[in-house]
Amino acid sequence: MKRRVVVTGLGAVTSIGIGKDNFLEGLYEGRSGISRISLFDPAEFSVQIAGEVKDFNPEDYFDKKEIRRLDRVEEFAFVAAKEAIEDSGLDVESEDKERIGVYVTSGIGGLTSLSEQFNVLKERGPRRVSPFLITQLIIDAIPAYIALQYGFKGATLSAVAACASATQTIGEAMLAIQRGDLDVIVAGGADAPIVELAVAAFASMRALSKRNDSPETASRPFDKTRDGFVMGEGSGILVLEELEHAKKRGAHIYAELAGYGTTTDAYHTTAPDPTVTQIKRSMLMAIESAGVDKNDIDYINAHGTSTPLNDKYETKAIKEIFGDRAYQIPVSSTKSMIGHLLGASGAAESVATVLTIDKGIIFPTINYSEPDPECDLDYVPNKPREKEVHVALKNSFGFGGHNVSLIFKKFKD
């Protein structure tokens, strides 16, 4: 039999709050973290808004020497990981560190450092480029840094699947614990893409909302007037643990991670497949691997990007799987509040999903004001809802046709 995997720790760094409690408060308030970009002057850009992590001072967490060595994305990941590990109550020094792994990823990696050092190269020459650039840039340096700080010697992994990266990494962590490879895995993702080059590139793709005059209402998943996603930044981390290991040390169990499915459209580099065949298959694979029936699903944390096609096709897939019952399942989008954290989005949203199960309150999809006939499900518009959630489906989709789904369950011994 597969070993059971539970969630025992949570950490978050987002535009609506640093720390899981502040994140949770922001979710239930329906607070928007979207504002005019302050990390650079966006005056010449067609897109001038993003979900920045506010009041994040690296000196609160790292000494000055360490700050010079780290990219913003590594800082986010470590702060969230530290919180999650402390939240789990794990006595790190008494554990077998060879049985603890770190599966943390990013969609793009250290863009801040790359942008800065490219300018150094052009303005000051090759000899002035930082020797730390490579470890600031590469994605697998993120879990390596966390492992180094705690001495964790189990496997490290960064699955990169565009905007489904963290969700896939969490799924792979679940499988590793189920197989018996590891007992504990610090899992999730981080991204810090709000730099000039990335904003310009995504804007050129026409992927981003241009509601510069109303940042707080720009991310509006499933609303008829949606015009693109809003870039966000931050991190979400979960401590995943084998059930008996967690019980033995008396850990608080937030939820059980029971299912994982992943597929590829093989259709287009950016657009989702209109047939939604592989989106549906990833969802059904997760449901089957969790050992639940599709009729057990009583909440869906959507990918919900606020783009015209993604929201339409995710809705279509849900309706084709669940039939008439689709209209009875609450669906909400975390991105309506924090924007799209790219590769880290599924991690922050998994934290939100677990908190929904733990607290019995479904957070809203904010900025939902004008119904779309093609997006006609229950999106929990604008206000939170008290509801006991037993089985939640979490979806993430990414450029390149990546589709990943997870199943979280209320824990029952």
Question: pLDDT at position 1, please?
Answer: 77
**Euclidean distance between CA atoms 49 and 231, whole angstroms:** 8
pLDDT, position 75: 98
CA separation for the pair 356, 95 (Å, rounded): 30
Which residues, other chains included, contact 248 with Cβ-Cβ below 8 Å and sequence gap of 6+?
none
- The CB density around residue 210, as the number of other CB atoms within 10 Å, is 15
What is the number of other CB atoms lying within 10 angstroms of the CB of residue 288? 14
Amino acid letter for position 10: L
User: Do 291 and 220 fall into the same domain?
Assistant: no
The answer to whether residues 282 and 272 touch, using CB atoms and an 8 Å cutoff, is: no
Where do the H-state alpha helices sit in 189-276?
196-204, 243-248
Establish if 255 belongs to a structural domain.
Answer: no
Q: Provide the pairing of β-strand 299-301 with 331-332.
A: parallel
Supply the pLDDT for residue 297. Answer: 98
CATH number at residue 265: 3.40.47.10
Residues 271, 234, single domain; the answer is no
Are the CB atoms for 142 and 320 separated by under 8 Å? no
CA atoms of 48 and 39, how far apart (whole Å):
11
Residue 371 lies in a domain: yes
Domain assignment present for residue 256? The answer is no
Q: Give me the number of domains the chain comprises.
A: 2
Report pLDDT for 78. Answer: 98
Q: Is residue 115 part of a domain?
A: yes
Q: Is residue 61 part of a domain?
A: yes
Same domain, 364 and 216: no
Does 207 share its domain with 269? no
> In terms of Cα–Cα distance, which of 359, 335, 355 is closest to 345?
335
- The three-state secondary structure class of 331 is strand
Catalytic amino acids?
163, 303, 340
Q: Based on the fold, state whether residues 266 and 215 are members of the same structural domain.
A: no
Q: Do 27 and 71 fall into the same domain?
A: yes
Would you report the helix, strand and coil content of the chain in percent, each value rounded to 5?
40, 20, 40
Residues 402 and 275 in one domain: yes
Quick one: 231 and 355 in the same domain? no
**What would the two tokens of residue 201 be?**
């590139």
- From 248, 273, 294, the end of a domain falls on 248
Together in a domain, 223 and 326? no
Instruction: Judge if 85 and 234 occupy the same domain.
Output: yes
What pLDDT is attached to residue 231? 98
Residues 331 and 203 in one domain: no
Give the pLDDT of residue 173.
Answer: 98
- Choose among 193, 233, 191, 190: nearest CA to 103: 190
Distance CA 160, CA 185 (A): 17
What pLDDT does 293 receive?
A: 97
Report pLDDT for 359: 97
395: left (phi over 0), alpha (psi -120 to 50) or beta: beta
SS3 335: helix
205 shares a domain with 77: yes
Domain boundary among the residues 197, 221, 248 is at 248
Is there a domain that residue 253 lies in? no
Which residue range(s) make up the domain with 150?
5-248
Whether 77 maps to a domain, the answer reads yes
pTM surpassing 0.95?
yes
Domain boundary among 204, 220, 248: 248
360: tokens are 């019995």
Query: Does some domain include residue 182?
Result: yes
pLDDT, residue 332, reads 98
What does the alpha-carbon distance between residue 127 and residue 276 come to, in Å, rounded to a whole number? 50
* 351 in Cβ contact with 320 (< 8 Å): no
Question: Alpha helices of 125-226 — where are they, by DSSP H?
Answer: 133-137, 141-150, 165-179, 196-204
* Cα–Cα distance for residue pair 39/182, rounded to 1 Å: 39
Q: Low-confidence residues of the chain, pLDDT below 50?
A: none
Q: How far apart are CA 120 and CA 123, in angstroms?
A: 5
